[in-house]
A and B are shown apart, each in its own frame.
Chain A
Amino acid sequence: MALKDKYKPLTDAAQAAGITDLKVREQDNVLYIDGTTSSGAVKDNLWNIYNQIDPDFRAGDLILNIDASAAPGTKAKVTTQSSNLNIRKGPGTDQEIIGKAAHNEIVNVVSKANDQWSLIRTDKGSEGYVYTQYLTQA
């Protein structure tokens, strides 16, 4: 089965959810779906559909890259599993930890350093870099 057909429920759902800049491309037997949304719930739903089509993501034939990270100038909620989020001096886990943001704390997103790291400021005034995956648009 062609990959676009296999993952059609997923691309249909992405279109229906109004994913911005949605791109669906195939190369070397891998389907690449990219897009942006301001809703963490929409992203989670698309991943649930992916998991239904390909249980436990075993096939290695899809790269699903939906960016639901909080935009600069907005507020984001710290969505770690339960622990505090490390705030670092620079964008990378090799960088010194200079503070913590609590689980579920609302922080201010200052800018995006790159795809993985965002510069944030807490209400207490701590400023530094955190792993964007743990921020959800508030």
Chain B
Amino acid sequence: MLASAGILFIYTGACKGHSSEVKTDTAVVTPAATDNTVQKAPDTAIVISPDETLKNNLTDAIKDYPGVTASVDQGVVTLTGNITRDKLPRLMMSVNSLHPKKVNNNLTIK
């Protein structure tokens, strides 16, 4: 029984001819699940988006906040207009994720 099981195992491996590849695939599964995040910047550099990129992304970020206006100057984002306090954190999260140099919150909170 044992001998035949052993032979069967070897035969299967030889038949596929990919035993090493299969092992590699299996080993890669775990790290791949954690490594597929957006590429990170080097440790030392603080990444500031160009003004043009910031302007485009701000259009998307403030779209759902009527009454809010955003301007950009050399990486510094200035928010003006009106907002309610409950919506402010979500807006700030969104703007902070765009890699600005600084955010001036000049919004009037209603």
Contact = CB atoms under 8 A, between A and B. Distances in A.
B105 A58 contact: yes
15 contacts: A30-B101, A43-B93, A56-B88, A56-B105, A57-B88, A60-B104, A63-B100, A67-B38, A81-B90, A92-B56, A93-B63, A114-B38, A116-B60, A131-B60, A133-B97
Contact size range, A: 35 or more
B36 A116 contact: no
Contacts of A102: none
Interface of A: 21, 23, 25, 27-28, 30, 32, 36, 43-44, 47-48, 51, 56-58, 60-61, 63-67, 71-73, 81, 92-94, 112, 114-116, 131, 133
Contacts of A92: 56, 60
Contacts of A28: 101
Contacts, number: 79
Contacts of B6: none
Contacts of B55: none
A63 B40 contact: no
Nearest to A36: B37
Interface residues of B, number: 34
Given A60-B103, A63-B102, A93 B92 contact: no
A23 B99 CA distance: 14
B69 interface: no
A48 B101 CA distance: 22
Contact of B96 (A63, A94, A112): A63
Contact of A116 (B40, B57, B85): B57
Closest 7 CB pairs of A and B: A93-B60, A60-B104, A133-B94, A57-B105, A57-B92, A93-B63, A30-B102
